[in-house]
Amino acid sequence: MRGRSATAIISGWASTPPGSPFNMNAVELRGLTKKYEDFEAVSGLDLSVSTGEIFALVGPNGVGKSTTLKMIATILTPTAGTISVFGLDTVRDAARVREVISYLPEEAGAYKNLTGREYLDFMAMVFLKDPARAAEAVKFGVELCGLGDKLREKIKTYSKGMARKLLLARAVMIRPKLAILDEPTSGLDIINGYEIRKTIKQLAAGGTTFIISSHNMAEIEFLSGRIAVINKGKLLACDTPAALKAKFSTQDLEEVFVELAG
């Protein structure tokens, strides 16, 4: 029952914009709701993410994290509420939103008959449309994924980790203003996961905003400025890991999570 009181205390802060060095929020969720027939996947979510922030959605499986990310990525339309990405509405200005975002779905795949390099070339053109900019992005992507000569082989020969590295490189090589990464390091080993996290941090320092979802509390703690704890489509808490730990008088973010979601 402590969980409920905690919710009552914290939910009031959710819509409060955090102290941000930037004026405009990168992403604003207002009363975001998504219903599937008689099931409400997301109910009345209010969040703001500031530019250059690494914002994490945390919660058990099937609580609406991926649905929220898909709505931000303009793939799903909200049943109610609004999302604005750099001041653009994701429903009305979907086409313009797509020019500034990059979305990495959970368990995404790549075209198996293309080589890694061909995949990066293709995606760079699809997102950037300009050959010169695309070539530059591919150069960055090749460096990011660290696959080396393996890029000349077809993707169907890749291991799960290699494919994930390729997809992540694809998602960030175009230097989007907002990167939406659903479980970015799932399936990666410790070293690869670490490198990816370092890259995300570097890019964020360069001004890219990240919204990620994750189950990995250590990763969240390392990466995120703030986290939003979600359960059953509702926001339970939204703050920095340190503040949340202080609030629940624990050194362990997982304990906070269990307290809130349990």
248 interacts with another protein by CB under 8 A: no
CB of 138 to another protein, least distance (A): 15
Per CB under 8 A, the list member of 67, 68, 74, 231 interacting with another protein is 74
187, burial (CB in 10 Å: exposed 0-12, middle 13-18, buried 19+): middle
Toward another protein, which CB reaches closer, 108 or 261? 108
| Sites for another protein among residues 146-175 (CB under 8 A) | 170
Among 1, 8, 95, 190, the residue binding another protein under the rule CB under 8 A is 95
Query: Residue 2 Cβ, how far from another protein at the closest point, in Å?
Result: 38
**The dihedral of CA 89, 94, 97, 101: what is its sign?**
positive
At residue 240, the 3 state secondary structure works out as: coil
Can you tell me the distance from the alpha carbon of 181 to that of 109, in angstroms, rounded to the nearest whole number? 14
Which of 152, 150, 146, 145 lies closest to 166 in space, CA to CA? 145
CA distances from 222 to 38, 213, 217 (A): 38, 13, 9
Q: Which residue from 103, 158, 248, 257 is in contact with another protein, where contact means CB under 8 A?
A: 103
The reply to whether 257 sits near another protein by the rule CB under 8 A is no
What is the closest distance, in whole angstroms, from the C-beta atom of residue 83 to another protein in the complex?
A: 13
What gap in Å lies between CA 20 and CA 38, rounded to an integer?
Answer: 38
- Say how many residues touch another protein, by CB under 8 A: 25
99 binds another protein (CB under 8 A): yes
- The minimum distance between CB 124 and another protein, in angstroms, equals 11
Task: Decide: 54 and 210 in contact? Cβ < 8 Å.
Answer: yes
Please list every residue from 180 through 239 that binds another protein, using CB under 8 A: 180
Task: List all residues 6 or more positions away from 34 whose beta carbon is below 8 Å from its beta carbon.
Answer: 40, 41, 42, 64, 67, 68, 71, 76, 78, 79, 233
CB of 76 to another protein, least distance (A): 10
Q: For the segment 105-144, give every residue that binds another protein (CB under 8 A).
A: 105-112, 123, 126-127, 129
Give the neighbor-by-neighbor strand order of the sheet with 25-36.
39-50, 25-36, 80-85, 88-89
CB of 98 to another protein, least distance (A): 4
Q: How far is the CB of 115 from another protein (least distance, A)?
A: 15
Stretch that binds another protein, among 3-11, 50-58, 70-78, 212-220 (CB under 8 A): 70-78
Nearest to 186 by CA among 216, 226, 221: 216
For the record, the structure tokens of 262 come out as 């349990």
Task: Using CB under 8 A, list all residues that contact another protein.
Answer: 70, 73-75, 95, 98-99, 101-112, 123, 126-127, 129, 170, 180
